Structure 1
Amino acid sequence: MTRWAPIGIAALSLGGILTITTFHWTGAGVGAATADDSIERGRYLVKIGGCNDCHTPGYLAKAGDVPEHRWLVGDRLGFNGPWGTTYPSNLRRLLRTMSEDDWVELAQTTKTRPPMPWFNLRAMTEADLRAIHRFVLSLPADDNPVPDYAPPGHPPKTPYIVFEPRAPKS
Structure 2
Amino acid sequence: MHPSSHPLRAGRCSALLAFGLLAASANVLAEDKAGAQPEPSERGRYLVNTAGCHDCHTPFKDGPNGPEPDMTRMLSGHPEGLVMPEAPVLPDGPWKMVAAGTNTAYSGGWGVSFTANLTPDLETGLGKWTVDDFKNTIRTGRHLGRGRPILPPMPIPVYNNFTDADLEAIYAYLRTIPPIRNRVPEPRPPAR
TM-score, with length taken from structure 1: 0.63
Per the TM alignment, residue 91 of structure 1 is displaced from its structure 2 partner at its CA by 1.1
Identify the residue that residue 165 of structure 1 maps to in structure 2: none
Q: Is the 8 A contact 2:73 2:180 kept in 1?
A: no
Gaps of 5+ in 1: 1-8, 25-29, 155-170
Aligned counterparts, 1:115-154, within 5 A: 115-153=153-191
Give the alignment partner of residue 115 of structure 2, picking from 88, 91, 97: 88
Q: Does 1:99 align with 2:137?
A: no
Identify the residue that residue 76 of structure 2 maps to in structure 1: 73
* Cα RMSD, aligned residues only: 3.7
Per the TM alignment, residue 142 of structure 1 is displaced from its structure 2 partner at its CA by 1.5
Report how many aligned residue pairs link the two structures.
Answer: 138
Larger Rg: 2
TM-score, with length taken from structure 2: 0.56
After the TM superposition, which segments of 4 or more aligned residues of structure 1 sit over 6 Å from their partners?
none
Aligned AA (1:139): I
Distance in 1 (CA, whole Å) between partners of 2:156 and 2:115 is 12
Distance in 2 (CA, whole Å) between partners of 1:65 and 1:85 is 21
Q: Against the structure 1 CA distance between its residues 39 and 105, is the aligned structure 2 distance closer, same or farther, given a 3 Å change threshold?
A: same
Distance in 2 (CA, whole Å) between partners of 1:59 and 1:129 is 28
Q: Is the 8 A contact 2:111 2:187 kept in 1?
A: yes
Distance in 1 (CA, whole Å) between partners of 2:67 and 2:45 is 17
Distance in 1 (CA, whole Å) between partners of 2:185 and 2:57 is 13
Gaps of 5+ in 2: 1-14, 80-103, 143-149
Greater fraction helix? 1
